[in-house]
Amino acid sequence: MKAAVVRDFTAPLTIEDRPVPEPAPHQVRVRVEASGLCHTDIHAARGDWPVTPSPPFVPGHEGVGVVEEAGALVRHVRVGERVAVPWLADACGRCDHCVSGWETLCAEQHNSGYSVDGAYAEYVLAHGDYVVPVPDGIDPLDAAPLSCAGVTTYKAVRVGGARPGSRVLVSGIGGLGHLALQYARLAGAETVAVDVTDEKLALARELGADHVVDARGTDVAAEVQRLGGVDSAIALAVSNESFRAAYGALRRGGTLVLVALPAGGTLELPVFETVLNGTRVVGSIVGTRQDLAEVFRLHALGRTRVMRESRRLEEVNTCFEEVLAGTVAARLVFDLR
Ligand code: NAD
Ligand code: ZN
Ligand code: ZN
C-alpha cells in the first residue's frame, strides 16, 4: 500500500510502498477514502513538541474509510461500515478520566499518526472500540476534517461556555477556526473572527461572523474591548502573539480556551489582572467519541459546512507549504479513493 512516511524531522515526507497491515484481534483494518491534513501533522513531522513521535511513522488523524477486515474481538463495528479514525487511537478505558467522560485526558492513551501509524496511507489499523461510525450521507471528504478540526472546536466552544447572548472570539479561521465559528453561532453566540490573511477574513464573513478583525497592524485586544470584550476566546492560531491578544480581548469573568500548539508555545499571565478580572484560562484537547458522534449528527442535519480542497497523497510536502502559507481553503484533504 501507498503511505506518506516521516523518516526525519528535518526532511520532507517520503511516499513509500508498505505491506497492507493485518489487524490484531481487537483491531479493524480501514481502507482509507479521505485523510485530512491537520496543522498538528506538520508539528508531528517536524518534531515541534516536547514529546515527539519516533520516526519512521505515518502521520494522519483525520482518517475516514471503510472497515475491510475486523479482528475476532471487535464487537461494535462491522465489515463494510464507514468509520473515522481520530487522534484518540485508544485509551485505557478504566481510569477516572476514561470512566467519567474525559477519555481524552487518559494518561495511557495512544494517538493516531503520532504514537501509532496514522491515516496518510491507503490502509490504517485502528482499535475497534475507538473508531467512530460516520453516518450515511456524509461525504468522506467532509467527514475527515470533522474528525479532528470539527470535534476539537465543538468541544472547545463548549469548554468556553458559549451560550445565546454571549460573545465568542475565534482566533485563527483555518481548518479548526472555520468550524469553531460555526459551532459558536450554533450555540447562539455573537461571534468575533480574527485572522491575518484576506482569504480567511473573507471566509469568516461568508460564514456569518458578526465582527471580523484583521490582526495585521491592529491592536486586536483594544478593538474587541471597544465591543465590550468577549466572554470566551478560542485560541486556534499558531502564534504566541495571538494568545496575548485573545487574553486581552476577554471581558471580566471571561475564559481563554487554549487549543493551538505552536512549537515552544508560551503565554505569560499578568497575575493582578487575572485575579481581579476572575479570568479563566483552560486547555482543551480534541474531543471524545461521543463529541465526534454529535459533530457528525450536526453535519448530517445540514448545520455545518466543511470548506476543503482535495489533494493527492503524493502532494503532501507541497500541501504542508500551502497550509503554512495560509493559502488554503480552510482544510486540505487527501482523496485516496
Ligand atoms: P491552520 O493553519 O489551518 O489555521 C491557523 C490559522 O491561524 C490560519 O488561518 C492563519 O492564517 C491564522 N493565523 C496565523 N497567525 C494569526 C494571528 N496572529 N492571529 C490570528 N490568526 C492567525 O491550522 P489548524 O489545522 O486549524 O490548527 C491550528 C492549531 O491547533 C495547530 O497548532 C494544531 O496543532 C492545533 N490543534 C490542536 C488540537 C487540540 O486538540 N488542542 C487539535 C487540532 C489541532
Ligand atoms: Zn488535528
Ligand atoms: Zn484511561
Identify whether residues 82 and 111 lie together within a single domain: yes
- Report the nearest atom of ligand 1 relative to the CA of 171: 20
Probe target for ligand 1 pocket from 176, 234, 258, 295, with the most ligand atoms within 8 Å of CB: 176
Q: Is residue 49 part of a domain?
A: yes
Probe target for ligand 1 pocket from 35, 196, 332, with the most ligand atoms within 8 Å of CB: 196
CATH code for the domain of 49: 3.90.180.10
CA of 192 to the centre of ligand 2 (A): 23
Indicate which ligand has the atom closest to the C-alpha of 130: 3
Indicate whether 95 pLDDT > 90.
Answer: yes
**Cα–Cα distance measured from residue 260 to residue 240, given in angstroms and rounded to the nearest whole number:** 9
Residue 55 cell numbers, joined: 520516526
Indicate which ligand has the atom closest to the C-alpha of 324: 1
CA of 97 to the centre of ligand 3 (A): 6
Q: Is residue 262 part of a domain?
A: yes
Identify whether residues 249 and 315 lie together within a single domain: no
Q: What is the mean pLDDT of the chain?
A: 98
Q: Is residue 266 part of a domain?
A: yes
Identify whether residues 37 and 144 lie together within a single domain: yes
Identify whether residues 134 and 201 lie together within a single domain: no
Q: Is residue 153 part of a domain?
A: no
Indicate which ligand has the atom closest to the C-alpha of 181: 1
> What is the distance, to the nearest Å, from the Cα of residue 33 to the centroid of all Cα atoms in its chain?
19
CA of 99 to the centre of ligand 2 (A): 24
Residue 88 host element (H or E): strand 88-90
**In the listed set 254, 283, 312, which residue is the last one of a domain according to the structure?**
283
Residue 189 host element (H or E): none
- Ligand 3 (ion): residues with CB under 5 Å are 91-92, 95, 98, 106
Which residue type occupies 142?
Answer: D
Long-range Cβ contact pairs of 45-48 (< 8 A, separation 24 or more):
45/6, 45/9, 45/13, 45/320, 46/9, 46/10, 46/263, 47/9, 48/261, 48/262, 48/263
**Cα–Cα distance measured from residue 286 to residue 261, given in angstroms and rounded to the nearest whole number:** 12
Identify whether residues 128 and 234 lie together within a single domain: no
State the total domains in the chain. 2
Write phi, then psi, for 277 (nearest 5 degrees): -85, -5
CATH code for the domain of 172: 3.40.50.720
For the stretch 117-158, pLDDT in tens is: 999 999 999 999 999 999 999 999 999 999 999 999 999 999
CA of 104 to the centre of ligand 3 (A): 8
For the stretch 275-294, pLDDT in tens is: 999 999 999 999 999 999 99
At 298 the pLDDT is: 98
Identify whether residues 169 and 206 lie together within a single domain: yes
Mean pLDDT score, 300-306 = 98
Q: Is residue 155 part of a domain?
A: no
Mean pLDDT score, 90-104 = 98
Q: Is residue 19 part of a domain?
A: yes
Q: Is residue 71 part of a domain?
A: yes
Identify whether residues 190 and 117 lie together within a single domain: no
CA of 175 to the centre of ligand 2 (A): 9
Confidence at 329, pLDDT banded by 50, 70, 90: confident
Indicate whether 112 pLDDT > 90.
Answer: yes
Mean pLDDT check: name the lowest of 20-24, 101-105, 226-230, 326-330: 326-330
CA of 259 to the centre of ligand 2 (A): 10
CB 150 within 8 A of CB 141: no
For the stretch 37-80, pLDDT in tens is: 999 999 999 999 999 999 999 999 999 999 999 999 999 999 99
For the stretch 207-264, pLDDT in tens is: 999 999 999 989 999 999 999 999 999 999 999 999 999 999 999 999 999 999 999 9
At 13 the pLDDT is: 98
CB 263 within 8 A of CB 48: yes
Identify whether residues 270 and 183 lie together within a single domain: yes
Identify whether residues 291 and 144 lie together within a single domain: yes
Taking CB atoms and a 6 Å cutoff, what residues make up the pocket around ligand 1?
38-40, 43, 148, 152, 171-177, 194-197, 200, 215, 236-239, 241-242, 259-262, 284-286, 323, 326
Identify whether residues 114 and 126 lie together within a single domain: yes
Identify whether residues 205 and 294 lie together within a single domain: no
The percentage of residues in the chain with a pLDDT greater than 90, rounded to a whole number, is: 99
Q: Is residue 156 part of a domain?
A: no
Identify whether residues 127 and 27 lie together within a single domain: yes
CA of 271 to the centre of ligand 3 (A): 33
At 147 the pLDDT is: 99
* Protein residue with its CA nearest to atom 29 in ligand 1: 260
Domain of residue 55: give its range.
2-148+287-335
- Report the nearest atom of ligand 1 relative to the CA of 173: 9
Q: What predicted TM-score, i.e. pTM, was given to this entire model?
A: 0.98
